[in-house]
Amino acid sequence: SQTIHQWPATLVQPVGSPLSLECTVEGTSNPNLYWYRQAAGRGLQLLFYSVGIGQISSEVPQNLSASRPQDRQFILSSKKLLLSDSGFYLCAWSEDRVYNSPLHFGNGTRLTVT
């Protein structure tokens, strides 16, 4: 069966520090991968999605970036965090070329920028 791992679960970082969140998927190949952010009391905001290694689509201009160095690995990064980057970050995957495939989510990372 497929599993998705996301870490760390919680993170407190000062303003201006770098960020690296990692997500890996097991049990499937060539998944579509997604990074979402969920701010308090708001819905889900799609940040990035990827359909293959090195292929990243950015949905929202910001100081965050994403990379996919391996087929089942998706990394969210920032060189300098802002207070507004605080939120709950969710990684998800779906089956490639299966358009009724749901998204499967990791357990999320709670990021607090102080």
Partner 1 sequence: AQSVTQLGSHVSVSEGALVLLRCNYSSSVPPYLFWYVQYPNQGLQLLLKYTTGATLVKGINGFEAEFKKSETSFHLTKPSAHMSDAAEYFCAVRANAGNNRKLIWGLGTSLAVNP
Q: Where do contacts with partner 1 occur on this chain (CB under 8 A)?
A: 6, 32, 42-44, 46, 49, 51, 88, 90, 92, 94, 99-100, 102-108, 110
At 85, is the secondary structure helix, strand, or coil?
A: helix
Q: 3 vs 17, which CB is nearer to partner 1?
A: 3
Provide the minimum distance between the beta carbon of 90 and partner 1 in the complex, in angstroms, as a whole number: 6
Q: 78 vs 109, which CB is nearer to partner 1?
A: 109
Cβ contact 78:66 at 8 Å? no
Instruction: Tell me how far apart the alpha carbons of residues 61 and 93 are, in angstroms, rounded to a whole number.
Output: 22
Tokens of 43: 């819905």
